[in-house]
Amino acid sequence: MQFHIVHITEFDYPTPATEAFSELRLRPRDTPHQAVSHHQTRVSPAVLTDDYTDYFGNHVETMSIPFRHQRLTVTSVCDVFTQPRPDPLASLSLSVCEARLLNREQRRFLHDFSRPSRYVTFTPELREMAAELLPDTGDFTGCLLGLNRHIFENFAYTPGVTNVNTSVAGVLERRQGVCQDFAHVMIGVCRLAGIPARYVSGYIETDPAPEDALVGATASHAWVEVMAPNGFWVGLDPTNNILEGERHVQIGIGRDYYDVPPMKGTFKGPNRQVLSVDVRMTRGTSVELSEPEV
């Protein structure tokens, strides 16, 4: 599939900010199943941006505004091609315990995705979920799909009840939240069961047929990748109870949301601001990607 994505972030200040600095993680990743043919970031007021690749391999742009401004607008425009992902789980026949033992061979490479992180803390309730939903003797594939379904069925998608700083404990207490909250819960359960898991930020298609409409499609989206013992990262979307597919576009990966926010920074000025975000993702012509290098 081919997608054209426009992501507009706007900050309005009641009185002028005198300066600002921001990091942007808005350029989609290039992967074996996803290719970026075009990406441009536009900033108003106009300033130059610099870029680098962060610890997790994500593309980051930085910008500094050293003068007064009352509105900051960042527009990211890109064209991305995606293709179907293989299903690494289909060929696996092993228990959760066996998967954990096999993954230990790569534990020094997976350490960051196996431990607690800023927003994914290990709570008693999370441990209970891990014991119930990912038991040692359970089928690895069936348990992962069951966990995906459990979060979808038992947590209500409710914008506004959480924010970017909400902990896993807060989400478990409310049983409500948005995609990033559900991703954090799933990551915590997997890590407690000894299955490395990482946070994925990105987009999901906004213009499907009405009967196929997916939750989380009017802003940036979040889901989870878990490490399968065959060396593949498997994408699961607990917000929609589906596997990652052609309609998902990855921007970045990290331990949790803290590592891959679309935009973060600081400014000097009034102690409040009004933030608005608009994401428009439209489908174009399907294009085949070249075979990935092995």
Q: Looking at residue 21, which CATH number applies to its domain?
A: 2.60.40.2250
Of 32, 61, 65, 31, the C-alpha closest to 46 is: 65
**Residues 128, 230 within the same domain:** yes
**Residues 204, 270 within the same domain:** no
How many structural domains compose the chain? Answer: 2
User: Per residue in 265-291, pLDDT tens?
Assistant: 999 999 889 999 999 999 875 444 444
pLDDT at position 135 is 97
pLDDT at position 214 is 58
Assigned domain for 87 exists: no
Helix axes 179-192, 140-154, angle to 10 degrees: 140
**Residues 139, 240 within the same domain:** yes
**Residues 131, 268 within the same domain:** no
Of 128, 220, 140, 211, the C-alpha closest to 168 is: 128
Confidence of residue 104 (pLDDT cuts 50, 70, 90): confident
pLDDT at position 294 is 30
**Residues 107, 77 within the same domain:** no
DSSP count for the chain of H helices, then E strands: 6, 15
Assigned domain for 292 exists: no
pLDDT at position 85 is 85
**Residues 250, 136 within the same domain:** yes
pLDDT at position 284 is 79
- On the question of pLDDT at 209 being above 60, the answer is no
Assigned domain for 58 exists: yes
Assigned domain for 186 exists: yes
- On the question of pLDDT at 212 being above 60, the answer is no
Assigned domain for 44 exists: yes
Its domain, for residue 100, covers 96-259
Q: What is the mean pLDDT of the chain?
A: 91
pLDDT at position 293 is 38
**Residues 118, 210 within the same domain:** yes
pLDDT at position 288 is 46
**Residues 19, 115 within the same domain:** no
What are the beta bridge partners of residue 61? 24, 51
pLDDT at position 215 is 55
**Residues 38, 20 within the same domain:** yes
- On the question of pLDDT at 130 being above 70, the answer is yes
**Residues 138, 255 within the same domain:** yes
**Residues 117, 156 within the same domain:** yes
